[in-house]
Structure 1
């Protein structure tokens, strides 16, 4: 017996369809109802009184509302979240359904400003630059993003011309691997630390050394850190750390040691010079020491790790590194103006919160600190299955990324240390991560010979950048956002653009 097919639907005219869609939207709003919401800034300030909002309000509509409430002259971009979950579709879908909230709850919606400018993801390698005869161990753009330097196992430092993408200067003088390079915040000097136990200073405009090497350490140099520009307009004080367990502060004008700090009992692995005048050093003795950089006195010792401390990051790293320079390309007329600009950028970066520090260790964990407030850690960040090799705060300080030998990159909240997401895609240890200057993208370099760009909105790979022939040791994103440079075991420097 034949069965009847489904009844045929009548084809409606276009205007009838439109009416139906509009009716559906009205019905949906009626069904979803409204929620009471309190808007709060990332710094904890409440804006106005609680509001009645439609449950299906979108981030774009919230953006219009917050710009109106803050009386902004021009529309600024914002991101919105409830209980650390970002609203990307609608309040109803992401929060009420996603977090199982009730429409009767008073929801606290946290808003945070986004960078007005946008960095486009680099998509292609525009140059493969040869010249180094051994692995490239360190890659670094100058604070204004106009110059690029590399340090290599072939004992040389190279400065590259970014306009023609060709070698500019080869700086010779070291007799051991160049392990670390660092630009002064005003971009006028480049420092390099080597396995030959010396620190050298170079003039990037000429490629010439500034005097003889700075000698004093008895083992190889592990890290370098310049005094922030807002604390010292001359940018002439440099700290170096060594496998010998000491930290030395040099006056680069007088070319001599100002002070030596030697209370670590094992190799110092990393140093950071904070914006409030404190110097932080991590060591294989499992501790982090906090020093007064003006007197060289030990302020406190931060304890908590169960193994070597490999790496540290400050929430203000980006503004301390770039000093007076930002994405607009404005150039200060003198040292005093540069210091004023650097101070304004630093104050904007910290807001009303203290500087935050994160340390990564061979014990597979990270510890989250507010060293100026307490010597106890705020949180222990767990989840990595192997040692943590590198940590980095986003330029706006809202996020933290960690790279590990467990082949993953993990994202954490930059204020609480709360876990956000695991970025998986690499098939070998991840050596380094670097943020775009608008904090929307992250790039990672790995032993698997690839670079990967991650979109922070979707928490997924945006682009895979193959091209290196071997392990990629170092990567840097220019502060102006235009280029990425990477180097590694294949001795090639690659420049990537969008």
Structure 2
């Protein structure tokens, strides 16, 4: 083919094609060379001082680009993981999953599909195993809750059966007497009741500090009036227990026997009234698990009760005076029969240590409060847990039955005192009693017309019954109020404190 013919020749066309690639490569190299030469010229200008860089800072573009690349790759990886995560199409399960992960179960304007994508996105960040772990934690908490409400019963000795029959025969006549008194009280005119109540409230408002006595070198942990209201027993963290005459607060006797903090000392019913002074009249317990029995004639214990391996926080006499109840931090409470001189009941049921125990005025029931924030009411005649009281947020440190037989007060570390109605098994009223944990609660022992509480805010308070309104604040202690008590005749109130003193309060 000649050059004169129409159309470009094939050879020339190929030469132009390859020639254009070479020119492009050459141009790129030249441009690169010019850039390198330009960079060299800039460096030379900087060195000569003709170009001033005042900040002295430079930005590494490569690092910035790498950072953006890493973020983009991470986002891409999350989207890839999210596509591989299987999420339930049930909207209820999706909401449950979001709740378990601590995310809001729904957002404004969010539909089921958007919610599924949000759950998938969250799982792509925290990992798909996070939902399984949270569900396991929920199941574990649920099992723990069930264990708290589960009661364990053990076969007891033959003496326990005899004791239960004895308790039934003892409690039934007392219950009849209590109900007859309640019926008689119901027949009293309302105006008369109101007048009596006003007089009692006026007397309580006039309560003043009658006596303040330094009881020991260490905090006074507990105080308890004798049945004849003529003596007061105090327990101290020094290991000493002391008997004081009231109301003059003179020391009668120092009881020596414990080697560590004494948690409680209580008079036996009828001590100083019908019991001889040589009989067992008091019982005390300490943090080393020791429980000791005392009379009113000797400074030394007359007997030791052995069997506790951990701290015994409280001891309480049964109204009959035959049985002694002890609470232990091994999650159990025990009943001791002093006639047969043995432990007849070792009862579990709390998931943590049992701190306090109190017997029903009839002698048929006992209430226990534990560090698991639950209270239980046990039927001593059958051995069953008849009422489970749930509502406190922290440990229960004190329980006390009202003389009316159907109200129970509990004091807790959540700074509240709850009053429970055992007839319908519910919380009747929650008293926001103090600014710190409530260490002790006591109903008036004669007719239960007021409730006394002591707390770690250095105060004790008196509340009306049944209105539960504050009547009087007993302020004067410089430390935590650790124990309170009301004399059986209802005339005196005692408070013991961390400031090593106990105080008597009397209406003038």
- TM-score after normalising by structure 2: 0.54
Q: Give the structure 2 partner of residue 179 of structure 1.
A: 221
Q: Give the structure 2 partner of residue 495 of structure 1.
A: 505
Q: Give the structure 2 partner of residue 282 of structure 1.
A: 327
Q: Give the structure 2 partner of residue 380 of structure 1.
A: 388
Residue pair 1:452, 1:461 contacting (<8 A) in 2 also: no
Residue 378 of structure 1 aligns to a residue whose secondary structure is strand
| Equivalent position to 2:294, from 247, 250, 274 | 250
Distance 1:78 1:406, change over 3 A: farther
Q: Does 1:454 align with 2:463?
A: yes
1:284 positional shift: 0.8
1:368 positional shift: 0.6
Deviations 1:100-136 (A, max 9, x none): xxxxxxxxxxxxxx9996561222453475553xxxx
Structure 2's unaligned 5+ residue stretches are 1-173
Structure 1's unaligned 5+ residue stretches are 1-41, 48-65, 80-113, 133-151, 156-175, 317-349
Q: Does 1:431 align with 2:431?
A: no
Deviations 1:118-176 (A, max 9, x none): 561222453475553xxxxxxxxxxxxxxxxxxx4x43xxxxxxxxxxxxxxxxxxxx5
| Equivalent position to 1:407, from 394, 412, 415 | 415
- TM-score after normalising by structure 1: 0.55
Once superposed, what is the RMSD of the aligned Cα atoms? 3.9
Whole-angstrom CA distance in 2 between matches of 1:189 and 1:483: 11
| Equivalent position to 1:297, from 342, 345, 350 | 342
Distance 1:76 1:387, change over 3 A: same
Residue 374 of structure 1 aligns to a residue whose secondary structure is coil
Aligned length: 320
| Equivalent position to 2:269, from 228, 232, 236 | 228
| Equivalent position to 1:369, from 356, 364, 378 | 378
Whole-angstrom CA distance in 2 between matches of 1:78 and 1:487: 39
Whole-angstrom CA distance in 1 between matches of 2:245 and 2:311: 29
Pairs within 5 Å for 1:79-98:
none
Deviations 1:80-100 (A, max 9, x none): xxxxxxxxxxxxxxxxxxxxx
Q: Give the structure 1 partner of residue 473 of structure 2.
A: 465
Deviations 1:267-305 (A, max 9, x none): 111111113311110011111011111232010111101
Residue 126 of structure 1 aligns to a residue whose secondary structure is strand
Whole-angstrom CA distance in 1 between matches of 2:349 and 2:210: 43
Distance 1:257 1:454, change over 3 A: closer
Residue pair 1:259, 1:296 contacting (<8 A) in 2 also: no
Bigger radius of gyration among the two: 2
Residue 316 of structure 2 aligns to a residue whose secondary structure is strand
Pairs within 5 Å for 1:35-434:
76-77=187-188, 118=197, 120-121=200-201, 122-124=204-206, 126-127=208-209, 132=214, 152=215, 154-155=216-217, 176-187=218-229, 190-201=232-243, 207-210=250-253, 213-215=255-257, 217-229=258-270, 233-234=275-276, 236-237=279-280, 238-253=282-297, 257-276=301-320, 277-316=322-361, 350=362, 354-371=363-380, 373-414=381-422, 417-434=425-442
Whole-angstrom CA distance in 2 between matches of 1:187 and 1:496: 13
Structure number with higher helix proportion: 2
